[in-house]
Structure 1
Amino acid sequence: MKAVRMRLLWAWMGMGLLLGTLLATPAGANSVRRPAVAGFFYPAAKEELASLVDRYLEQVPPPAPMGEIVALICPHAGYQYSGKVAAHAYRQIRGRNYQVVVLIGPSHTVAFEGVALCDANYYQTPLGKVRLDRGLAQALSRRDRSFRFLPPAHEKEHSLEVQIPFLQRTLGEFSLLPLVMGSQSLATCQSLARALVEILRGKKALLIASSDLSHYHPSEVAKRLDEVAIEAIRSLDGAGLLRKVEASACELCGAGAVATVLLAARLQGADRVKILDYADSSAVAKDPSSVVGYLAAAIGKEDKEDQKESGSSGEKKRGQHDLSPEAKRKLLQLARQAIRLFLEKKEVWDPLIADPELQRPGAAFVTLTQGGELRGCIGTTEPNRPLYRTVVDCAIAAAVSDPRFPPLSLSELEGVRIEISVLGPLRRVRDASEIQVGRDGLMICQGERRGLLLPQVASRYGWDRISFLEQSCRKAGLPADAWRQGARIYRFVAEVFGEE
């Protein structure tokens, strides 16, 4: 039976190759690759799609720092099956900046040798258009004759399309280089990896391999197969992964895509892999007799900033925006005006801000005090919106949504002082001696519980390092010694300024 299936597969692939050759025609100057699986793999309505992706992302705990992320491995099934797993990967890059994203996936619809480039100018989803990097595509096509423009390979391919809404909801502006692999031999993967490293030199780029794991085995068998693949991925061993696939020790429909990304990431200096999530389709289909495996992983290397000598001044430079006095003054004005407008008219203010300093993505907390006592404090550790927008939203939330206090009234506003803390990135604490009171804020996480205290809190109350850790645990609703018992500790620096 297996031999019959293989003969049918090769016959189908032969027809696909012929079809691909006949249909490969140049695209127009403003051509758009339009959605092929909207309404099937993910919602076709813009608002519904955005809401679903955002909900998946919000369900993922804040990521622990892992240095500079150079690549992701993501599944590509329908969102109801693998969307939550994919969100674990995309949460890692939320708020980060990349000039170009290279998206690599296997061909499911057209058979061909080599790698297919997309001969369009834009890639469209219900969330809008993403510009394709034609310059990089042309440069890649000159590196190897088997790298060629082949529109039919992209026309109906879902493995790339399902990734793009996640990118649109996690990154700012970026260009895209989508690649579909026909042949997934080691020679093709090595050639593609070398070519990508060469054409991406000097660019801030993210590589993404789109692949599911084993297909249609009982759950226990699938897990054993997938563990083999995951171990090769964890070891950054692209060639070893392909050998294991050829030996039927594991299965990945996008083995070539994953191997290429592992090989390219190593050439770029990657030295770490984090397995973020693993699941199979039985979680949704409720049928453990025949499942598909899904994996989310991130690949990184030491951040250039982390290579610098540590110290108080270095920490400050890394973590803060170094806002100008004018930017600080403007943010305080925006916070007060936003609160006033909401209290007067119940309207959420959306000011038009052109200042690049305030347009940068930023994480922040807004603290309200009244007579020297806390009156509200709300914020976010994720820099996924422009800084001014973060401050406006957090100011309103601190005024009316802090569950510890009744909503602020308009008559109280004049007696309230506003303080803003612009946060640097969260950094995992491996040893408590890394924490410096007066410089660092802390976040403690265990299970679903988390507690955060800003740097100025410890100074205000005269806490030492141990007291600061214990109070952060209590803020999370955990025992005071939870930081000694396996709770995750993160530190951050903040630029703090307030009204006179």
Structure 2
Amino acid sequence: MKGSFPVWRNWLLKLKKTLRLLGRYYLNFLLLSLVLNLSSSWAIIRPSAVAGKWYREDPKALKAQIETFLKDAKLPSLPSKINALIVPHAGYRFSGPTAAYAYKAIAGRDYNRVVILAPSHYAHFYGVSTLDVVAYETPLGQVPVDRKVVKALLKNPLFKEHTMAHLREHAIEAQLPFLQIVLKNFKIVPILISEVKDEDVFILADILKKVLGKDIKNTLFIASSDFTHFGPMYGYVPFKENVPQKIKNLDMEAVEFIKKGDAKGLLDYYHKTKITICGIYPIAITISSLAKQPKGFLLHYTTSGEILSNYSNSVSYVAMLLDEPGLSENERENLLKLARFTLKYYFNHGHPPAVEEIPIKVSPVLKEKKGAFVTLKKHGELRGCIGFIRPIFPLYKTVMQASLQAAFADPRFLPLRQEELKEIDIEISVLGPIIPVKKVEEIRVGRDGLIIKKDGQQGLLLPQVATEFNLDRLKFLELTCKKAGLSPSAWKKGASIYRFTAEVFGEKKH
């Protein structure tokens, strides 16, 4: 019997497709249930439930569609470590272009597993449900499930295995084809959330952290969620005038709580406004599951109302990422303040300020030795950029020295004049580790800065240069070679290539 299972399963799947074409969905649903509820001694695969409906069924067409979405997504500079994504889960026609922003941000990164938390749309139960199967299947192949983690979660009373809830659910499956394109060698932990209390959010997050243990550092969390569902179709019409802007305002308030990593504030806002974010609890659990309070970044926002030019009913789509804590907002502001103060002080006194004269509190993080660059821009144009690649000095001292060097020692520009200072915007890039590049395919535009050394010459470009000038990997390598005074193709032979990430932030006003 065991040996004949693959044959029976193939027969069932063919029958499933035939019945679907005949419009007999209820029998199709029973067949899926049968496949999933066969003896656990067999290799159980959760077949696709929405291929041909929510996304294309033909593998080549699906791959081409996703690759087009990814190509069209234009990203800002990215943090060095991305711990979590918030991604929509509607049909790809509507939410695919937005989802691509989030998935492009993690393309080529290394994660052992992806924990996908999604709302349960088709079944109601208390708590959360995960599914102990070998893999999920899409037209692009099978995505293995981390059964070790799933089994560990199921030992907790809040985690159940509601098989029927997973059969039709699109919110997890919608993420899989994108993941299959942008990542390699990963497993998933599928989790559906139905009815939970606010206090359960933090209990569930603690369970996830305990089960994942130290390997949480190698885990990507995905909160699968659409945002405001507006209109009579969704029973949510809190306003009737200036609808597009008011929907956006409603969504952006929620986004602000996510940016701050404030799960409790987000839930309070949800209860206050009754905002119809279907994955509000998956988002809150995701925020709370990360090791420290994360920072959120909005990558893209749109609505079905905008896409269709019709706001009678509208669903909002948001792509966000949550990064590993680096500098706090206060520490970033202090470094920018210090950079400007250093320049003002130098103009007034002719020498840099002493440590005891600086106007900021130097936190322990700012005392850590780090490399950093300071970029000066005047009316959006480069006016100076110099820094320190290696972590030689405490970060705050690195910023002070780099500020002066960028203002007065960049050989590409005349020294900064005092009257120009009020027109200058300051940007700081705090560098991560310098990593040798073995294959150029390791380089990710938007994530990595580059250093190229050859014949005693060296060129460096920060990660934001590639995104600002819309460079692909090849053009980025060539431009870095030119920065070193080398021929554009010098990287191909005999050159040492290094990559690094950077935490980039600048003045919004001064």
- Smaller-chain TM-score range? 0.5 to 0.7
Q: Choose the corresponding residue for 1:277, options 300, 310, 320.
A: 300
Cα pair 1:90 1:166 within 8 Å, conserved? yes
What TM-score does the superposition give when structure 2 sets the normalisation length?
0.61
What TM-score does the superposition give when structure 1 sets the normalisation length?
0.63
Q: Choose the corresponding residue for 1:309, options 353, 370, 380.
A: 370
User: What is the 5 A alignment of 1:304-383?
Assistant: 309-310=370-371, 312=389, 318-321=434-437, 323=438, 362-363=442-443, 381-382=444-445
Does 1:77 pair with 2:90?
yes
Q: Flag structure 2 segments of 5+ consecutive residues without an equivalent.
A: 1-29, 232-242, 328-365, 372-387, 392-430, 451-456, 497-510
Which residue identity is paired with 1:120? V
CA-to-aligned-CA distance 1:478-498 (integer Å, 9 cap, x gap): xxxxxxxxxxxxxxxx89626
Cα pair 1:189 1:259 within 8 Å, conserved? yes
Cα pair 2:132 2:151 within 8 Å, conserved? no
Which residue identity is paired with 1:319? I
User: Percent of counterpart pairs with the same letter?
Assistant: 28
Does 1:169 pair with 2:192?
no
Aligned to 1:44: 57
Cα distance 1:149–1:272, how it changes in 2: closer, same or farther (>3 A)? Answer: same
Aligned to 1:333: none
User: What is the 5 A alignment of 1:339-488?
Assistant: 362-363=442-443, 381-382=444-445, 425-427=447-449, 438-441=458-461, 443-446=465-468, 452=476, 453-460=478-485
Relative to structure 2, which stretch is displaced further, 294-303 or 170-179?
294-303
Aligned to 1:209: 223
Question: SS at the partner of 1:220?
Answer: helix
CA-to-aligned-CA distance 1:136-176 (integer Å, 9 cap, x gap): 0111122x302011111111000110001111000011011
Q: Choose the corresponding residue for 1:192, options 197, 204, 218.
A: 204
Question: SS at the partner of 1:37?
Answer: coil
User: What is the 5 A alignment of 1:148-163?
Assistant: 148-163=160-175
Q: Distance in 2 between matches of 1:448 and 1:249?
A: 40
Aligned to 1:238: 263
Which residue identity is paired with 2:461? G
Aligned to 1:103: 116
Cα distance 1:90–1:286, how it changes in 2: closer, same or farther (>3 A)? Answer: same
Cα pair 2:258 2:266 within 8 Å, conserved? yes
Q: Distance in 2 between matches of 1:196 and 1:210?
A: 17
How much has 1:195 moved relative to structure 2?
0.9
Q: Choose the corresponding residue for 2:494, options 479, 487, 497.
A: 497
Q: Distance in 1 between matches of 2:252 and 2:107?
A: 28
Cα distance 1:228–1:498, how it changes in 2: closer, same or farther (>3 A)? Answer: closer
Cα pair 1:30 1:121 within 8 Å, conserved? yes
Aligned to 2:284: 259
Question: SS at the partner of 2:106?
Answer: coil
Question: SS at the partner of 2:49?
Answer: coil
Q: Distance in 2 between matches of 1:122 and 1:102?
A: 14
Aligned to 1:247: 272
Cα pair 1:38 1:44 within 8 Å, conserved? yes
Which residue identity is paired with 1:309? K
Q: Flag structure 1 segments of 5+ consecutive residues without an equivalent.
A: 1-18, 324-357, 364-380, 384-424, 429-436, 463-471, 473-493
Cα distance 1:42–1:179, how it changes in 2: closer, same or farther (>3 A)? Answer: same
How much has 1:302 moved relative to structure 2?
4.5
CA-to-aligned-CA distance 1:391-419 (integer Å, 9 cap, x gap): xxxxxxxxxxxxxxxxxxxxxxxxxxxxx
Between the two proteins, the alignment pairs up a number of residues equal to 345
How much has 1:361 moved relative to structure 2?
5.0
Aligned to 2:135: 122
Q: Distance in 2 between matches of 1:316 and 1:234?
A: 22
Does 1:224 pair with 2:249?
yes
Root mean square deviation of aligned Cα: 3.4
Which residue identity is paired with 2:140? L
Cα pair 2:227 2:277 within 8 Å, conserved? yes
CA-to-aligned-CA distance 1:104-133 (integer Å, 9 cap, x gap): 000000111100011211011110001101
